[in-house]
A and B are shown apart, each in its own frame.
Chain A
Amino acid sequence: MLAFIIRRLFQSVIVMLAVALVSFSLFRFVGDPIASMVGQETTLAERAALRDALGLNDPFLVQFWSFVARAAQGDFGISYRLQQPVMELILSRLPATLELAMISGIFAFLFGVGFGVYTALKRRGWLSNAIMTVSLIGVSLPTFLIGVLLIWVFAVELQMLPSFGRGDVVPVGDWWRTGLLTQSGRMSLILPAITLGLYQMTLIMRLVRAEMLEVLRTDYIKFARARGLTNRAVNFGHALKNTMVPVITITGLQLGSIIAFSIITETVFQWPGVGALFIRSVQFVDVPVMAAYLMLIALIFVVINLIVDLLYYAVDPRLRVSRSHARH
């Protein structure tokens, strides 16, 4: 178990270093950091001096190392565009993105598993066929189109839900501002959460369905029925549990994708999160923000991966060999 965790942690560090290298390269290859820091009238000599002072002439490894060391402490420098520490900017935007991602994830998971199980158990029902067909449309429509359609129907035509922004937010803790505790905040979450989660929901649903159909064909399910267990015990106690083992992995990893994909949804709904911040920083070649965003997304992916692995480990006893080895 411990060896497993250590190996996983080591792999995570390697991944983070690789992403750091990409982020770091942004500074070198996307725009000239000196040009974005100084005015038109700065002389060449002054520029060279600044270049030296910033350590831009140091050997590559030295520069990379100092980038990694500062990044590890959450120091990504100052935003070119907003002249604020990048970390502060990100932290102020992160709650909006995480809340959106969390609600989308829950939506995607609950409905994905629910529909997946339903369509697997009622394989031949008309409702299953309807769900499957609609889900096909769901995966093939681009996210922004779904967002725009939802806005058109529910915000413009029916005027039931707001079409942009987070609504009212209230502070919880030092820097977290939540929209979950206000009525307008919750209403504002609905459309973006559905938009963001729809694709993942169909994905999870199709995965659960395929996996469940597979499990329902296994001998141990046949044997469970032959033992006279109730349908409920067979379907939900036995089949669903075995279905969830691989589903957990994929679903967990989807959460990372949800956060990464939130860029589009945040743009469509003018959601004040890190995705929207990233889009703006790309427009303005605000390299420190872009670099920090990349690292943040990578970190989220890595952490989720790690948690998923541990969960997997907890759910599947076959992986837990430490307690007792196969005997006889």
Chain B
Amino acid sequence: MAEPLLSVRDLVVEFPTRKGVLRAIDKVSFDIAEGEVLGMVGESGAGKSITGTAIIGLIEPPGRIAGGEIWLKGKRIDNIAPEAMRRVRGRRIGMVFQDPLTSLNPLYTVAQQLIETIRSHLDVSEKEARARAVALLDRVGIPAAARRIDDYPHHFSGGMRQRVVIALALCAEPELVIADEPTTALDVSVQAQIIDVLKEICAERGAAVMLITHDMGVIAETADRVAVLYAGRLAEIGPVRDVIQKAEHPYTQGLMGSIPTLAQESDRLVQIPGSMPRLNAIPEGCAFNPRCEHAFERCFRERPDPLDRGTGRRVACWLYDRVGAGA
């Protein structure tokens, strides 16, 4: 198999608090291949955003990466000098945040923000940077880009601003774009367009995407593979089609209940009885055991690590451990 573009190995992210250390990400591993779209799903608080933030090296102190490794094209990036990491951000990994209304600095024009980003990473003249910026704005679907580029963010609607944000994430031609719920804050009518634009441009440029979302429907239509996070742990990962047609992890099975038919417009994740534990109250053994219909004795004793299930699928559940007791 070819070397993956991004490889996250046993990532652990911790936040020291007065009440002790909170482990927000606990030994999460996954790869993203070049040009691939990896969907990442999970309830609010599962650790999706923190995973993205850790990859670009922006965990706020005192939070820290307490374990594991992050590799980008065969080079470790979780332990490199701040200046080296800065040159990875934007240039090699672009980021799109959830809320376009707050992602742009209100005091600078779109042109200023695009040009400064391009020139932070690429050795081009102001004029050249501007030309690229206009072309990119045009490509993400801003009408009259050459004129609108000199407007301030508040002159644009939410959907248009998210297009600007996408342009900003892509303007230094990164190999990977991490989009953290890029449409959650938007009007439903424009959500699909934004996802389409993101997907198309990344495909055009051969950039891989890590698409964090609540929306299983979007994952089904957009992603090549999907990773399911639960309480800071990886529950299941595999090709989208396989996972959707036959989810193996009981939590994923519950999630799939949220898409009645895949063609139909899907809703937010359906409620599985109970709720995800807080980080300071994760049960012994499998984190999902209080809510799991299939839980058995071993689930309360030992933590399941993701088991290889073939065809690129891994599932963290004792039900599939042939060596163990089985149920």
Contact = CB atoms under 8 A, between A and B. Distances in A.
Main secondary structure of the interface of B (DSSP, over half): mixed
Contact of A226 (B97, B105, B156): B97
A241 B107 contact: yes
A242 interface: yes
Contacts of A324: 151, 155
Chain B, interface size category, equals 35 or more
Contacts of B117: 227-229
B228 interface: no
B69 to A, nearest CB: 21
Chain A, interface size category, equals 20 to 34
A226 B120 contact: no
B99 A233 contact: no
Given A227-B90, A228-B87, A218 B102 contact: yes
Given A227-B168, A233-B116, A245 B107 contact: yes
Contacts of A315: 107
A225 B102 contact: no
A328 interface: yes
Contacts of B90: 226-229
Contacts of A325: 155
A326 interface: yes
A176 to B, nearest CB: 37
Main secondary structure of the interface of A (DSSP, over half): helix
Contacts of A31: none
A223 B103 contact: yes
Contacts of B95: 223, 226-227
A7 interface: no
Contacts of B64: none
A325 B156 CA distance: 9
Contacts of B89: 225-228
Contacts of B88: 228
B303 interface: no
A230 B91 CA distance: 12
B105 to A, nearest CB: 4
A231 B86 CA distance: 9
B102 A220 contact: yes
Nearest to B158: A328
A317 interface: yes
B76 interface: no
Contacts of B157: 326-328
Contacts of A238: 105, 108
Nearest to B102: A219
Given A228-B91, A326-B157, A242 B107 contact: yes
Nearest to A326: B155
Given A226-B89, A227-B120, A230-B120, 5 more contacts: A230-B86, A233-B116, A318-B152, A324-B151, A328-B157
Interface of A: 218-220, 222-231, 233, 237-238, 241-242, 245, 315-318, 324-328
6 contacts: A223-B165, A224-B105, A227-B120, A229-B117, A231-B82, A242-B107
